[in-house]
Amino acid sequence: MAEKLKCWKFLGIKKTDDIREIKRAYARKLRDHSPEDDPEGFMKLRECYERALWLASASKHRSVMPVPSAESALPVEINETETFTHTEISHAGQIIEKLEELYSNFERRMDPREWKRLFNSFSIVELQAVEKTTVQFLNEHYILPFDVWEYLDSELGLSKNDFFYRSILTVKHNDVCTPLLEMFKDNPDPGFDLSFYASLRVNAYVAYQIENWNVAEMLARQAIELYKEDYLTYIILGAALRATDREREAVTAYDQALELHPNIGLCQRLLRTYMELDDYENALVMFLMFRKLFYKQDKNARLLSRNSIIECEEIFLEFRAKKRKITKIRYSWNTTMLGEIKHFRRFTPRGYKRFLYSCILFLIGLFGGLFLLALINGQLI
C-alpha cells in the first residue's frame, strides 16, 4: 500500500483512474527527470508511471494484472530514450498545425475550454514534444485573454520558462483582451476585423509598458482610426505624447479617455500634465474631480489609492502657492507623517480636518470648564 501511495506522490497527482491525467503528469515530470540529465530519476519516474497506469487499468476493469517492476520497464526506457528526440521532431509539425488551426479562429482562441480540449487530445508522445513547440508558437501568437494564459501557464510553466518572453501578458493586471471581449459582447460584428483590432490593442499596450513610445503612438492611432470608443487606446496615445514632450496633444487624448471612462488614474495623469503646462485653473478642476472620485470609493479601495491622494494634495498646494503666493502647514505633509507612524488608516486629508476640529473643540471645552471652575472657586472664597 505504501508503494502505491509513493507512486501517486512522485507523479504529483491524487489517485485516479484517468489515463489521460496520468500521462499529462508523466509529461510534466519528464521536464525535471529527463533520461539524459537524470537517468536514475527517469527510471523511478517510468516505474511510477507504469505502476499508475496498471492501477488505473485494474480499477477500471477489475482484473488481476502483473505489476510492472523497474527491471521490466528498463528495456522500454532504453528504447524510448533512443527514439525520444526523433519522435518529438516528428510530432512537432502536427502540433503546430493544431495550434495554428485553433489560433486562426478568434472566438475559439479566446475560450480557455478550447485550449483544454486541444491539450487533452494530445497523446503522451505529443505531450513530451508540446512544451517547446507551444512556447515557440506563443512567443509569436500572443493575442490571448488572461484565462487562457492562466491555463497555459499551469500546463507549460510559462512564468518560469526562460525561453518565453511574453510573460508580461500572463499577469492579470495586464489583461487587455478580456475587457475587449466585454466591449464587443453585444456587438460581435463592429464593422471591422476584431482580431486585427485586438492585435493593435495588445501590441500598443506592450509598447506602452516597455516605453517604446513611437511604436505605442503609431499603433494607438491606428486603433483609434478603427474604433473611437476605446478609452485604453487614448490613454496609451496620451502617455506617448506626454513622454515625447507634446503635453497639449496629450491633454486632448486624456480628455477623450476621461469622457469614456472617468477614473482616478486619468484624473491624476491630467493633473500632472496641466501642472507641467502651468495651467493651474484646469489643474484645480482635475484635483477637485480626483478628490471627489477618491471619497466615493469604498474604504478598502480608498486605502489602495491613498498615496495618489497625498501626491495630488501636494500638487494642489503647489498650485495654490504659485497662484496666491501662500505657504502654510500642508495637509499632505501631515497625512504623510501620520502614515509613517502607522495611523494613516484613520486619517485622510478630510479625516485629518475633522480630527483637528474635534481637538480644537475639546480644548475650548476643557479651558472653558477650567475657567468656569476658577470663577466658581473665586466666588466661594
- Flag whether pLDDT at 67 surpasses 50: no
Average pLDDT over residues 229-243: 94
Closest CA to 306 of 258, 351, 359, 255: 351
- Domain residue ranges in the chain: 1-68, 87-171, 176-258, 262-381
Nearest C-alpha neighbor of 205 from the set 245, 178, 244: 178
Note if the pTM is more than 0.75. Answer: no
Per-residue confidence at 35, pLDDT binned at 50, 70, 90? low
Higher pLDDT, 218 or 20: 218
170-190 residue pLDDT tens: 888 899 999 999 998 888 788
**Contact yes or no for 153/159 (Cβ under 8 A):** yes
> CATH second-level architecture of 176-258?
Alpha Horseshoe (1.25)
More confident residue, 48 or 60: 48
Give the chain's end-to-end CA distance (angstroms, integer). Answer: 96
Task: Say which residue, 158 or 341, is predicted with more confidence.
Answer: 158
Cα torsion angle, 18, 21, 23, 25, sign? negative
* pLDDT tens per residue across span 75-123: 333 333 333 444 444 556 778 888 889 999 999 999 999 999 998 887 7
Instruction: Please state, in angstroms and rounded to a whole number, the distance separating the CA atoms of residues 286 and 275.
Output: 10
Could you tell me where the DSSP H helices lie in 104-123? 106-109, 112-120
Confidence of residue 290 (pLDDT cuts 50, 70, 90): confident
